[in-house]
Amino acid sequence: MLKCLLCHRSSEPKLRLPWVLSWQPLERPVVCQACWQTFTPIMTSQACPSCGRAQTQRSLCHDCQRWPQQAFYNQALFTYNEAMQAYFEQYKFKGDYRLRAVFRAVLMARLASLQPAIVVPIPVTANTMVTRGFNQVTGWLSDGENSGWLKTKHQTKAVPQSQKKRQARLLTPQPFELTGAGPDLTAKTVVLVDDVYTTGRTIRHAADLILENGAKSVIGLTLAR
């Protein structure tokens, strides 16, 4: 018997073909089929090759044409829709840590397919760590992926990204620093994991820093775009 983590209804999971093809991890599903189908997977073959946005074909999207060339690209698993917004509301802002299980298996599967030498979760600020109590990204990853050597700088109270105008967001100063306690990045492929790719500014700042420290390439992996 499955008790859905999202709608809390009990059901008997049936393994029908559309279900098997719907990305839902086969072993011990944690959400019901009805809830799972409210999320919209992005097909990499039809996504922007730079930011991972869902499109009708694989070509550079309007936003990405404005970014300078960089040894970086992003893949996103799902389109940020209403269901995803509701998920983040419960998981991040209401702090229901059990909900990390909803996307853990699909995220870990995609991560494995990218064969990274090093996996780095985007850190949250010390402030967020105190108020939320956890990093939403490391919640999805298995133990041991919590690097700690990529840190957010101490800042005076930052305005949340979502409240800034697009132009102001793109001009924000580097918010991250490396502690020096990390692994040798020289010629490595690094995967940066984050929750949502919005303007790309945050994850590209982190990618810049890692590339400046010798990495060969950086791939972003975000749950939503």
Instruction: Using CB under 5 A, list all residues that contact Zn ion.
Output: 4, 6-7, 32, 35, 48, 50-51, 53, 61, 64
Is 200:194 a contact under the CB 8 Å cutoff? no
Q: Pull the structure tokens for residue 25.
A: 């991890």
C-beta closer to Zn ion: residue 32 or 224:
32
* Measured distance CA(75)–CA(192) in Å, rounded: 10
User: What torsion do the CA atoms of 35, 89, 104, 219 make, to the nearest 10 degrees?
Assistant: 120
* Measured distance CA(77)–CA(172) in Å, rounded: 26
How far apart are CB 71 and Zn ion at their closest, in Å? 16
C-beta closer to Zn ion: residue 53 or 92:
53
* Measured distance CA(13)–CA(29) in Å, rounded: 8
How far apart are CB 161 and Zn ion at their closest, in Å? 17
How far apart are CB 57 and Zn ion at their closest, in Å? 12
C-beta closer to Zn ion: residue 150 or 218:
218
C-beta closer to Zn ion: residue 35 or 221:
35
* Measured distance CA(52)–CA(55) in Å, rounded: 9
DSSP 5: T
How far apart are CB 209 and Zn ion at their closest, in Å? 21
